[in-house]
Amino acid sequence: MTKYHERKAAAEGNPADSEPASFLARSIARESLTISGLDDPADPVQRQQAAMLAGRLHRSLSTFPSYRRQEGAVRNTAATGGPWGWLPLFDDGCSRAGLMFLERGKSVPLHDHPGAVAITLVVTGKIEIIQCDADSEESKRDLTVRWEGRLKAGEATFLTVAAGNIHSFKAVEDCVVFDLFAISYPYEKRSWFIPETTLFSPGGNTQPRRPTPANAARQDYHHTPAN
Ligand SMILES: [Fe+2]
């Protein structure tokens, strides 16, 4: 971070408190109105609003030495934790945030975060994202693509309870992503939409297939790193 960005982050409200967690807690509360106005990730204007908001937080967080250390450390988590790495920054039961690392060419298959509202900001690298809606909360068998695209550093998308909540990632380049869950969700409610995958088998990493009514299937899976 340059001196300019440090000063800018400070001017934008970098806190006097010493911990990123307390800063995040206050920031999420402060930004809740803006976040609640996001309702369609297919809208480029709304994605830009999400990027501005999350980018502002990321720049402020980057003034904390502990955050910069975590940003570096998350790059090493994939080696032991599977195709992607995750470092939690903050979790108060209602909101949470963390950093995800995904190696070039690796994927996180389709999954959901039921009840969550979250922004995903690309910090470094490039990532491809597919976001889907389910036909019904009960079956979640028929999926419709809400938005798909490629994001580079500084760009963001978001999901809401009803829009684009089911999503997958593929890293075009090594990626670090800042995930901000303004409204969190219980991990045990998460589902993976895996027509057929070897992701959780030794050495496996299969790309998620584009969901269709014929091949989208819901599988509960409770033992993976969260993202
Ligand atoms: Fe996710």
- Per residue in 199-217, pLDDT (tens digit) is 333 343 333 343 433 334 4
Q: What is the pLDDT of residue 20?
A: 85
Q: Give percent of the chain above pLDDT 70.
A: 71
Mean pLDDT over residues 163-189, rounded? 91
CA–centroid distance, residue 175 to ligand 1 (Å): 14
CA–centroid distance, residue 9 to ligand 1 (Å): 27
CA–centroid distance, residue 107 to ligand 1 (Å): 11
Q: What is the pLDDT of residue 132?
A: 87
CA–centroid distance, residue 196 to ligand 1 (Å): 19
CA–centroid distance, residue 128 to ligand 1 (Å): 13
Domain 3-10+18-186+210-219 CATH superfamily: Jelly Rolls (2.60.120.10)
First to last CA, the chain: 25
Which letter, b or e, does each residue of 192-219 get, where b requires 16 or more Cβ atoms within 10 Å of its Cβ?
bbbbebebbeeeebeebbebeeeebebe
What are the percentages of helix, strand and coil residues in the chain, rounded to 5? Answer: 25, 30, 40
Q: What is the pLDDT of residue 189?
A: 79
Q: What is the pLDDT of residue 223?
A: 32
Cβ proximity of 182 and 31 under 8 Å = yes
For the chain, domain boundaries: 3-10+18-186+210-219
CA–centroid distance, residue 184 to ligand 1 (Å): 11
- Per residue in 3-29, pLDDT (tens digit) is 544 444 443 444 334 588 889 889 988
CA–centroid distance, residue 226 to ligand 1 (Å): 8
pTM value? 0.78
Least confident window among 35-44, 61-70, 127-136, 186-195: 186-195
Mean pLDDT over residues 28-37, rounded? 89
Q: 31: burial class by Cβ within 10 Å (0-12, 13-18, 19+)?
A: middle
CA–centroid distance, residue 95 to ligand 1 (Å): 14
CA–centroid distance, residue 87 to ligand 1 (Å): 13
Mean pLDDT (the chain) is: 77
Amino acid at 49: Q
Q: Any alpha helices (H) in 62-211, and if so which ranges? A: 65-73, 78-81
Instruction: Write the CA distances from 202 to 74, 89, 101, 199, 205, integer angstroms.
Output: 22, 29, 20, 8, 9
Q: What is the pLDDT of residue 137?
A: 66
Q: Give percent of the chain above pLDDT 90.
A: 40
Amino acid at 86: W
Residues 6 or more apart whose Cβ sits within 8 Å of residue 206: 107, 109, 196, 197, 198, 199
Q: 3-class DSSP state for residue 127? A: strand
Rounded distance between C-alpha atoms, residue 62 and residue 9, angstroms: 8
Q: What is the pLDDT of residue 142?
A: 66
Is 163 or 22 the better-scoring residue by pLDDT?
163
